[in-house]
Chain A
């Protein structure tokens, strides 16, 4: 498995501001994933982050709105830019743990409320 720490765990944000979520893993991993889970909904993949390359975004998500950094094999950040109430959601960092048979593990999540 993998131990994944996310910060902040929860925040209330003003409309129009940006917030950066940090994700730290206790082991080196090739790819990290960022998901969003809106209230009452399932998980939606935002992007896949490879160390040393640009993140790959899923349909409906763009780099200007959700810039991602991946400076090393244990850390990544997701920024939610120019927030609106529609961005109120849980944002989840996840990784495929080494030698785990493609098993995905999740961080504790960051609960964002935009007012």
Chain B
């Protein structure tokens, strides 16, 4: 049973702070990792993907992957109230498997 675990939150941070979202996964063979943002009443939208150990930066977002420890995280710098949403971690075993396993999501609240 492949599992992806996230703290459901809510994680509350002040505007301008760094929000840190964490995700652990059980399948050691996992190869592809994704973060999605889902606003209330909307469908998930892709923020970032990461495939190799280390950091990947895109604007205010940084994804971090540590395969040895089986965790992936998302950092949001200079958090804005518009970042308030649920963040879903998804893990894909790869190797021809196209079906990711999603975590339950972490609710982030950025307060002014």
- Asked if A104 is at the interface of the complex by the 8 Å CB criterion, the answer is yes
Contact with A along B33-49 (1 / 0, CB 8 A): 01010000111111001
Taken together as a complex, chains A and B put the C-alpha atoms of A92 and B42 apart, in Å, by: 10
Closest to B32 in A: A102
Closest to A41 in B: B104
Q: Are B45 and A104 in contact (CB under 8 A)?
A: no
Q: Which residues of B contact A103 (CB under 8 A)?
A: 32, 34, 46, 49
Q: Are A90 and B103 in contact (CB under 8 A)?
A: no
Interface size on B, residues (CB 8 A): 24
Give the segment of A11-19, A72-80, A81-89, A106-114 that binds chain B.
A106-114
- Asked if A43 is at the interface of the complex by the 8 Å CB criterion, the answer is yes
B62 to chain A, nearest CB (A): 18
Size band of the interface chain A makes with B:
20 to 34
14 pairs, CB–CB < 8 Å, chain A vs chain B: A33-B99, A42-B102, A42-B105, A43-B102, A92-B43, A101-B32, A101-B51, A102-B94, A103-B32, A103-B34, A104-B92, A106-B36, A106-B44, A109-B43
Which residues of A line the B interface, CB within 8 A?
Answer: 1, 30-31, 33, 41-43, 45, 48, 90, 92, 96, 101-109, 111
Which residues of B line the A interface, CB within 8 A?
Answer: 31-32, 34, 36, 41-46, 49, 51, 88, 90, 92, 94, 97-100, 102-105
